[in-house]
A and B are shown apart, each in its own frame.
Chain A
Amino acid sequence: MGTLFHFLPINLLAITAFLPNALIIKLHYQAIVILFIICLMIALLTYMLFYMYFKSKHEKKHVKWRIISDLLIRKAVFYDDDDEEAETLIPVTKRAEKLMRNKHFRALLTAEILSAKKNITGTSAENLIHLYQQLNLEKYALKNLKSRYWYIKAKAIQELTVMEMKEFQTLLYPFTNNHNELVRMEAQTAIVQFQGFEGLRFLDIIIYPISDWQQIKLLQQLSNVPPVYIDIDGWLKSANSSVVVFALKLARNYHRFELHDLILSCLDHPNPEVRLQAIHCLCEMYTDETSDQLISRFLKESFRHQLAMIKAMQNIGSEKDILFLLSLLDDDNHEMKLSAARALASIGKSGLTSLQDHVKSAGYPLNEILMQIKGELAA
C-alpha cells in the first residue's frame, strides 16, 4: 500500500517532466472538473438521503394522523350506537386534542370529515357536524374566508356548505358576486343549498356572468327542493345576460306560463344566447300565436337560431305554418330540410300530406327524408 502511495506521485512527476506546459495545465483543469463532479455527486447523494429520511418520517407521521382522524370520525359516525347514555360531547382523545393545534393535522381531519359527510346522511351526518363544531373547525374556515388567495376562500365556502353552517350564510352572501369565478360559484351553491329558491335572490345583484356549468349545477340543486313560487320577472329584464338565460331556464323548467309575453320579448334581446334560450323556452310554453312570432323573426336570425326555431315548430307549429315550412324544404342545408319536414309531419295529417305532395315533385334527398320520417312516425 505504501509503495503504491509513493509510486503514484513520483510516477506522475516523472511523466510531467516530459510533458509540455499547456498539457500540464489541461491535466490540472481536468482534475478540478473531476473533483467538482465528485463533490456535486456527494452533495446530491446527501440531499437525497436527507430528503428520503424526512419524507419517510413525514409519511409515517401522516399514517399515524390518518389513523387518529379515522378513529375520531368513526367514533362520531357511530356515536349514538356506542353508548346507551349518549353524552353531549363526542369523546376526543387527548392526543387528538393536542394535535388539533397542528394546522396540517387540522387540514387532514377537516378533509376526512368533509369526505365522510358527503357520503353519509341521517344521524351519522349530524354527528359529523357535531364533531366539526366541537373541534371549532368552523373558526378556521371563517378565518380562511378572509384569505387573499381565491382557492383558500373557495375551499372555505365549500367546507361551510358541506358542514351545513347555515348561521354563516350572511357572511357568504357577498361572495356570490366575487370577481373570481370559482369563489362566486361556491358561494352561489352555498346560498341555494341553505335557502333553496329563496337563495336565488343573489341574481338581483350579480354583475358577473353565471357559467353554463354553474347554471346546470344550480338547476340540479333546485330540483332536490320543493318548488316555491318566486318572482322571476325582474331577472328576465336583467342587464346581466347570463341572469336572463338562467331565468328563462327557470321559467321553462317550472312552467311559468304567465311569463309568456316577457319570454317573447327576449326574442329581440341583443344577446344571441338569450334569444336562443327564449326559443327553447317558447318550445315548451306557447300560444297559437307563438309560431307567427318566430316566423316573423326567422330571416333576421343566424342559421343556429333558425334551426332552433324550426325544431321548436315541431312542437308549436300548426296548419297556418305549412306554407312557410314547405318553403324550407328547398333550403340548401339538409339539416334544415329534415327539421322542416319533421315539423310538417308533426302538424298532423294535413302537414304530412303537404310534405308527400312536395316530395313527389322533388327528388333526392327529400324522398329519403320522407322515408325516415315515416319510419319515425311508425316507431
Chain B
Amino acid sequence: MKILVAEDDQLMLKMLEFRLKKDGHEVIVTHDGREALEKINDFQPDLVITDIMMPYLSGLEIIGAVKKKYPTGTPVIILSGMGQENVVMEAFQLGADDYITKPFSPNELSVRVRRFDMSIVK
C-alpha cells in the first residue's frame, strides 16, 4: 500500500517511515502540510497518515482537501497529540477515517493501517 505520512517531528517521521516500510508499505514522507498536499496530488497515495499541528497547513485542512479530491477513496488517519473531544469530533466530521492520540503504540498503528489495506484488497 502507498502511504503518505505528514508529521513535523523529524524523529517521529523517521520512526513511522521505518515501521511502515518494515510492514511492507511504500512510504512517502513530508514534514509540512503544504508539501503534503503537493505530494498527495503527485503520488496519489492509498492512505494518508497526518499530524494536526503542522507548518503551513494543518492536518484538518489536509483531510478537507483529500476528501474533496477523492470523496470515496483515500482514507485518512489522524495521528495527533491533541486528544480533546472537539478536535477529534471536528476531524471525524471532516471525514477522517481513524484518530490515534499520541502517545501511541506503533504496533497498534500497524494493525490499524492493515485494516485499511484489507479493505483495498477486498
Contacts and interface: CB of A to CB of B under 8 A. Distances in A.
Identify which of B15, B22, B81 gathers the most chain A CB atoms within 10 Å of its CB. Answer: B15
Nearest to B107: A122
B18 A74 contact: yes
Contacts of B108: 122
Interface residues of B, number: 16
A81 B81 CA distance: 25
A43 to B, nearest CB: 38
Interface of A: 70, 73-74, 77-78, 81, 112, 115-125
A77 to B, nearest CB: 6
Contacts of A73: 11, 15
Given A115-B9, A115-B11, A118-B103, 14 more contacts: A70-B11, A78-B22, A112-B11, A115-B12, A117-B103, A119-B102, A120-B104, A120-B105, A122-B105, A122-B106, A122-B108, A123-B107, A124-B105, A124-B107
A228 B24 CA distance: 45
B68 interface: no
15 contacts: A74-B15, A77-B106, A78-B18, A115-B12, A116-B15, A118-B102, A119-B12, A119-B81, A119-B103, A121-B104, A121-B105, A122-B106, A124-B106, A125-B103, A125-B105
A78 B19 contact: yes
Contacts of B9: 115, 119
A74 B12 CA distance: 10
Interface in B46-73: none
B14 A120 contact: no
B104 A119 contact: yes
A16 to B, nearest CB: 66
B14 A78 contact: no
A123 B81 CA distance: 19
A78 B11 contact: no
Nearest to A113: B11
Q: List 8 tightest A-B contacts by C-beta distance, closest first.
A: A122-B105, A121-B103, A119-B102, A121-B105, A124-B106, A119-B103, A74-B18, A120-B103
B105 A116 contact: no
Contacts of A81: 22
Interface in B1-40: 9, 11-12, 14-15, 18-19, 22
A101 B113 CA distance: 40
Nearest to B103: A121
Given A115-B9, A119-B9, A119-B81, A77 B15 contact: yes
A74 B9 CA distance: 14
Given A70-B11, A78-B19, A112-B11, A123 B103 contact: no
Nearest to B105: A122
B12 to A, nearest CB: 6
B11 A123 contact: no
A117 B14 CA distance: 14
A116 B7 CA distance: 13
B35 to A, nearest CB: 21
Nearest to B102: A119
Contacts of A121: 103-105
B21 to A, nearest CB: 11
A298 B12 CA distance: 56
A51 B92 CA distance: 51
A116 B106 contact: no
Nearest to B101: A121
Identify which of B11, B19, B105 gathers the most chain A CB atoms within 10 Å of its CB. Answer: B11
B11 A116 contact: yes
Contacts of B19: 77-78
A143 B108 CA distance: 36
Contacts of A70: 11, 14
A286 to B, nearest CB: 28
Contacts of A117: 103
A119 to B, nearest CB: 5
